[in-house]
Amino acid sequence: MQADQIVLGFTWFVVFLFSTTLHEAAHAWAAYKLGDTTAYEGGQVSLNPLPHIQREPVGMIVVPLITFATAGWMMGWASAPYDPSWAHRYPRRAALMAIAGPIGNLILVTTAGLLIRLGMVFGIFYAPDRVSFTEVTGATAPWAEAVVVPLSILFSLNLILFLFNLLPLPPLDGSAVLPMFMSPQTAERYHGFLRQPMFSLLGLLLAWKIFPLILPPLQLGALRLLYPGLGYQ
């Protein structure tokens, strides 16, 4: 492996680790504030990645490294524990806990976008002719080129994490948000449905089929918001 690939892989891993940790820490913090201390007691209300890695070492280390080595990008997973009986008793609180993770990723997307726009104001960044996952923006000065890749990955990866986790399919966060719009009785029955492992497996398979179809127009919309008037196709 060449030096530039090692640097790119390290950059990917740092951004992936930070983004995933923030996602799960947001879940854990929301649950703690809403009455479930399970994740708090497990150390997950933290931006320190170690408690999250200890809980999901395969999803946070092994799979990301394998996918980068084989595909050039990283995927993986993490999880924050919660009390199922608490979620069963308070389905709307559980829904707020679920939405907190994607909101964390949305905050990172927005932050990356604002930094890019601020850099454009000062003449540091510019909108490239073609955009890729690792080049959402371009740098006008050599010293700023080191920021382009991590900032671009931060924008692109968190956009995907935000959108993917909002799919209303178990076990994704979007499926747990739906009880906010249900009656207590319906929400209780729905939570029983979500606890079935078979439905989680089917939900993931369906999500992987659907997401590649809906991602391109959503990415294009995000780029047009980032660079209004440029007409990316």
What amino acid positions are annotated as catalytic residues? 24
> Is the Cα torsion angle 191, 196, 198, 201 positive or negative in sign?
positive
Distance of CA 230 to the CA centre of its chain: 27
| Three-state secondary-structure class, residue 48 | coil
DSSP one-letter string for 114-165? HHHHHHHHTTSEE--SS-BTTBSSEESSGGGHHHHHHHHHHHHHHHHHHHHH
Q: Which of 76, 27, 25, 1 is nearest to 177 (CA)?
A: 27
**Token match 């966060």: residue?**
173
CA distance 107 to 159: 10
CA distance 130 to 218: 17
- 16 — phi, psi (to 5°)? -60, -45
Structure tokens at 148: 């382009």
Distance of CA 101 to the CA centre of its chain: 7
